[in-house]
Structure 1
């Protein structure tokens, strides 16, 4: 899908987690709270271990800074399962940039990047907690379709599990600018 009258103000910059970006990644992930992730705040030791284990860069995972033309780095995105036709998204905005509508612009640019650079990808998926209304609205605003509602499947620190809600966009929908609905009642139930 193209947006002919707009030039994206967000660009993706490949992240070198085990190299030049290690300290910056450590700082970003430990200085921001991510309340809708399984672990909302991580220690430097936890982040360092996940970097060393390849959580941000391996055969199936790539990570990118989200660089805004006017604001600088506003967040990061991790793309997982890139050897599959359906990779997964982990999008994190820095606290100071949340609530400004930048999530939609970031998601559009990440989606464009995935479909432009990974020809084998036919479907792109992301999941969030049921109470992350801002991200759920962002998915819908960007043409993604709700495909699943996994009840009590998202662990919550110090609380009962919540539902995980899955959204995806098909390459053909992205290319045509359409949205293919999920056939929820295909058996007449």
Structure 2
């Protein structure tokens, strides 16, 4: 147990593992991770929690200056620690593009890290589509539409808009019998008098 290396070689050339030392190493790494967030005040934890629970706002803030970011080619998928790119504070990982960052935010490892840090699940509402009442869905949908219209344009007035006033149809004098009756049998079959000519 006093050895530094948790694995050693037995007399037969096989590797033997000291389970107690590995358990101790696991505890040390867990304490190292927990100590990262223990020095934060409750106000800072609330801000961090609000940042990672509002998924759409998190992606919007991460990508707002995405056109100006240039990443090094050495960054493969992710790197430990804060570097230039899209950084997840909970997991201490930096990603090179938004696709990998969003994939990480939806990954189970990020969800587990959130639950360990804040002591509550990341996804609060676990109902299926069939479990949501239609009235609640309708209210949520209309609230989302109102919010969208408020931020992007005018809200429609509660009164229905009046139909635009159409000008009255022009009255034409009634056609005489000469205009109505075709002059020949061909005109009656074809439905028109001629093909029209450019010559007059």
TM-score (norm 1): 0.24
Task: Give the TM-score normalised by structure 2.
Answer: 0.23
- Which structure has the highest strand share of the two? 1
Find the structure with the greater CA-based Rg: 2
Higher helix share: 2
